[in-house]
Amino acid sequence: MTIATLSPSAVPTRKRRLLAGWSRAGKLGLAVLAFWIAVALFAPFLSEQSLGEMSDAGVFQAMSAQHWLGTDYLGRDMLVRIVAGTPYTIGVALVATLLACGLGAVLGLLAAVAGGWVDSALSRLLDTLISIPSKMFALVVIAGFGSSVTLLIAVATIVYTPGSYRIIRSLAVNINAMDYVLVARARGERRAYIMRREILPNITGPLLADMGLRFVYALRLLASLSFLGLGVQPPMADWGSLVRENLGALPVGGVSVLAPAFAIATLTIAVNLVIDNLPGHTDADREKH
């Protein structure tokens, strides 16, 4: 008796199953996103000497074999500066996004399950916060307390929690009325159990899509603050501050000002392409503030 065996190519790999249904644009976005994450993980291994080393080539030099992305306003290698700024650009936006979406999800689930005065109080409070323009709020807070990485994360978290709350609450309210949730209530399950086991698993797709959008919003907000000089402060740098520092190269189309702007654009587009291919993503999730 012979036993039929399947060749490795006949068995779909885990990677293929995860990416099943993804468009080419989505896979390209995922590759670009993975590239920038790898750069952010590599950046801490750069030596202090390479970060501050000034080239003999001069300032605002064009691309060359020695300096692939030219030099900045002090003659430093622009490629090294972009790599060094990647952890601050991605890290601050990512931490703020995780905090905002996590807090928004907890409050949204609580409001949907508890209802009554808890729902009303949370909704009115967060509606008040969402009515304040994000950049105006950030400028006022930073002007009053000074700029730091911790404060930037806190500001972005406060700004984007209300939007996450509204989306999660609207999804959770519909699921809270389902029969299986009513059965869980009838058998005496507590609110925490219903939130964690009955509702949250059924909104994971939209939650991940909204998290991706919040990351883009946080990235845009933090880059604009850095461009105004209120974001990440020297000697640290993110991509927004690199654009501001090298504005002197703009009249001649210097690559030192175009490279960080291009980096911001590629990361933003990549995240949006990935979001468009996530399960559970719909046009209704695209709520902008």
Question: What's the CATH code of the domain at 163?
Answer: 1.10.3720.10
Q: How many domains does the chain have?
A: 1
Q: Is residue 243 one of the residues assigned to a domain?
A: yes
- Beta strand ranges found along 142-246 (DSSP E): none
Helix (H, G, I), strand (E, B) or coil at 71: strand
- Is 28 within the bounds of a domain? no
Q: Which structural domain range is residue 226 located in? A: 64-285
208 domain-assigned = yes
Is 5 a member of any domain?
Answer: no
Is 51 inside any structural domain?
A: no
Rounded to a whole number of angstroms, the distance between the first and last alpha carbons of the chain is: 67
| Structure confidence at residue 13 (pLDDT) | 58
In a domain? residue 211: yes
Q: Distance between CA atoms of 107 and 244, rounded to whole angstroms?
A: 37
* 23 strand-pairing partners: none
Amino acid letter, 52:
G
Strand, helix or coil for residue 67 = coil
Looking at the DSSP bridge assignments, the partners of residue 76 are 54
Q: What's the confidence (pLDDT) of residue 55? A: 65
What pTM did the predictor assign? Answer: 0.84
Q: What is the pLDDT of residue 286?
A: 42
Does a structural domain hold residue 203? yes
Chain centroid, CA 232 distance in Å: 16
| Number of other residues whose CB lies within 10 A of the CB of residue 186 | 8
Q: What is the mean pLDDT of each run of 10 residues along the chain (289 residues)?
A: 46 60 88 95 78 70 83 86 92 95 95 90 91 89 89 94 94 90 87 89 89 93 90 86 86 82 94 83 44
Give residue 177's pLDDT: 86
Residue 77, pLDDT score: 86
Q: What is the pLDDT of residue 7?
A: 47
- Of 287, 286, 272, 216, the closest CA to residue 32 belongs to 272
Q: Within a domain: residue 11?
A: no
- What CA–CA distance (Å, rounded) separates 215 from 258? 22
